[in-house]
Amino acid sequence: MTPAGANGDGPLRLDIDLQALTANWTWFRDHSHGAVTGAAVKANGYGLGADAVVTALAGAGCREFFVTTIEEAARLLPLADGCTVYALHGLRPGEKPITGIVPVLNSQEQIARWREAAPGRKCDVMVDTGMNRLGIGWREFETGMLDGLNLGTLHSHLASADEPDNPLNDIQQRRFQEIVASVRPPRAALAGSAGICRGPDFAFGMTRPGLGIYGGVPHPMAAGCLQQVVRPQAEVLIVRHVAVGDIVGYNGMWRAEVGTRVAVLNIGYADGYRRGFSNEGQVLVGGERRPVIGRISMDLTTVDIGNAPVDEGDWVEVEYDLPAASAVSGQSQYELLTGLGHRYQRRYI
């Protein structure tokens, strides 16, 4: 633990391990059965900072990056020299094509819009094979819909890849395989992080890992194989003694059975540390895990620090291993990542 404030920094830090990030991407590349391996970096690199994430992954050999909109893609173009940036939401009304950005077209209307706006320019197309979200529905899909398009990759997306025994996975794979066989696109893509773990039948010619790159465990196969990327740290605002029988926090969710030393941390649900961690979360104090006690507030969290040598202004690490934190808080690993707020000083390791 180190004193805070000496350098004028705020009370929250987010240490982001870029070596762990690239090692995780490499693991998914090595398990993509020869398919080109891209990376989903939407939502500002899953909340970690797309600039740093794209730069690190490009340095590791990634050349295909997926975001949501053309606007989001345009911000990354200067960092992705020699790479391709894909806009998964296609070409929306009023948007104009931008050189270097490939839209993934999701409807007949978007295809018509692209034909008019950028005839002959490269595009991708999404086919819905059972998720009923983005993409042309597999029932109404006809190969003639793609006539005249300079098609790069034909995509689909699995609805339940993180559920190993869900029969919809194989159903979607078969539907997509049939469409790919009829279209014969230059390349096809079905699998994200969890889909990669399902084996070679799901790899096709390209994979699009997302959650797993950032340390989330998307499928049992990846358990124990991926490294933690994100480590939040919070400053100790005050240390206090709570007498036997006194409560801590809103609604008295925790009551002291013995006299207890409590540290109040500068972190709360406004920073993405959700209420689900109330009486359940842990922090690391001098290498020892200490329990979160009481209800998480908007900006504050209280911790039983026992006899640990903790003082006002010290820093503690908030335990944030994604699968464990998800099980404790009841929040998905995706939400835990993307919900980390703007008040953190992001530090790249």
User: Residue 267 is which amino acid?
Assistant: I
The per-residue DSSP string of 229-259 comes to -EEEEEEEEEEEEE-TT-EESGGG-EE-SS-
Q: Active-site residue 96, yes or no? A: no
Q: Contact, 343 vs 12, CB < 8 A?
A: yes
Backbone angles phi, psi at 326, to 5 degrees: -65, -45
The per-residue DSSP string of 46-82 comes to HTT-HHHHHHHHHHHT--EEEESSHHHHHHHGGG-TT
Q: How far is CA 179 from CA 129, 130, 159, 193, 214, in A?
A: 10, 13, 18, 22, 32
User: CA–CA separation, 332 vs 237, rounded Å?
Assistant: 29
Residue 207 DSSP symbol: E
Which of 42, 273, 320, 344 is an active site residue? 42
3 state DSSP class of 155? strand
Q: How far is CA 44 from CA 72, 237, 307, in A?
A: 8, 29, 40
- Within 13 Å and on the Cβ side, how many CA atoms surround 110? 22
User: CA–CA separation, 192 vs 202, rounded Å?
Assistant: 9
Can you say how many angstroms the Cα of residue 30 is from the centroid of all Cα atoms in its chain? 20
Q: Active-site residue 42, yes or no? A: yes
H or E segment to which residue 8 belongs? none
Which of 96, 250, 320, 344 is an active site residue? 250
User: CA–CA separation, 328 vs 331, rounded Å?
Assistant: 8
Residues recognised as catalytic: 42, 250
